[in-house]
């Protein structure tokens, strides 16, 4: 016999409302939540209810309470918070392997579903990469390269894949930034993805997949070598 569905408690309702506001960008990562009094009035709840909801969101990883600083937004969604916790327990090679699977799928779907706006965005990112190379600006190149990969995921027109890729990309780039900056000479030619962009433009699934497989395999080799040298 099916159990009768229970209504959401006040705490659960507040949790959902705060989470929705964060996901919609009302509060961005790093923003400080308004004072308790304002939130109590906004959600029309008691101090105890509000505090319990905040504790639940802190436990979930969306919020962080700092003494003397108030409550800060730590993640843009529950999915992002969960991914962050798992990534903290994974090593860099494992993270890179998962990103390979996501990026391969993103490249294939982008080749199928990309539209003119997607191609324009990808080309803009590519131009920014080339400009950074001309100026020998490694940090700018890393930023532009990351934007290219995110634009490719967006071109897949798969919202879940795009969100998963977003959460995988930030911590991965943070981890490999040192490798990319200390690589002498910096291997720009291995990271300007002109062939990948062309495969997506031509809707060449085989070419896009082959390119992603090869460049991430090469990056894994470089990463393994760097890690070995650091540990020796």
What is the C-alpha separation between 209 and 223, in angstroms, rounded? 21
Residues 6+ away with beta carbon under 8 Å from 78: 19, 60, 61, 62
Q: C-alpha distances in angstroms, 188 versus 10, 104, 198? A: 54, 21, 18
Q: What is the pTM of this model?
A: 0.64
**Residue-level pLDDT at 135:** 87
Per-residue DSSP letter, 62: S
List average pLDDT for each run of 10 residues in the chain, which is 232 residues long.
Answer: 56 90 85 93 93 89 83 75 58 73 92 97 95 86 89 92 77 61 56 91 94 82 67 57
Q: What domains, with CATH codes, occur in the chain?
A: 10-76 (1.10.10.10), 90-231 (1.20.120.530)
Which stretch of DSSP H or E encloses residue 4?
none
First-to-last C-alpha distance (Å) of the chain: 63
How confident is the model at residue 2, as a pLDDT? 41
pLDDT at residue 4, as a whole number: 42
Quick one: how far is CA 143 from the chain centroid?
Answer: 13
Contact between 63 and 54 under an 8 Å Cβ cutoff? The reply is yes
CB 165 within 8 A of CB 150: yes
Contact criterion met (CB below 8 Å) for 17 and 24: no
Which tokens in the block code for residue 34? 């308004």
Q: 66 φ, ψ to 5°?
A: -115, 130
Is 75 in a helix, a strand, or coil? Answer: coil
């Amino acid at each position: 016999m099916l159990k009768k569905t229970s209504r959401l408690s006040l705490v659960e309702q507040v949790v959902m409302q705060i989470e929705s506001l964060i996901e919609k960008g009302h509060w961005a990562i790093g923003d400080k939540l308004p004072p308790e009094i304002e939130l109590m009035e906004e959600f029309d709840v008691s101090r105890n209810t509000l505090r319990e909801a905040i504790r639940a969101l802190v436990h979930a990883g969306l919020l962080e309470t700092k003494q003397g600083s108030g409550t800060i937004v730590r993640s843009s969604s529950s999915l992002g918070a969960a991914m962050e916790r798992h990534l903290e327990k994974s090593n860099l090679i494992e993270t890179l392997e998962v990103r390979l699977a996501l990026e391969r799928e993103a490249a294939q779907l982008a080749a199928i579903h990309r539209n003119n706006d997607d191609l324009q965005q990808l080309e803009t990112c590519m131009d920014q990469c080339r400009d950074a190379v001309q100026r020998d600006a490694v940090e700018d190149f890393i930023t532009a390269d990351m934007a290219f990969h995110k634009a490719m995921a967006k071109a897949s027109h798969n919202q879940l894949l795009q969100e998963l890729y977003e959460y995988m990309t930030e911590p991965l780039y943070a981890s490999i930034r040192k490798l990319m900056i200390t690589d002498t000479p910096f291997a720009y030619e291995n990271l300007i993805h002109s062939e990948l962009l062309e495969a997506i433009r031509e809707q060449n699934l085989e070419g896009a997949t082959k390119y992603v497989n090869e460049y991430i395999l090469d990056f894994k080799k470089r990463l393994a070598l760097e890690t070995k040298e650091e540990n020796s």
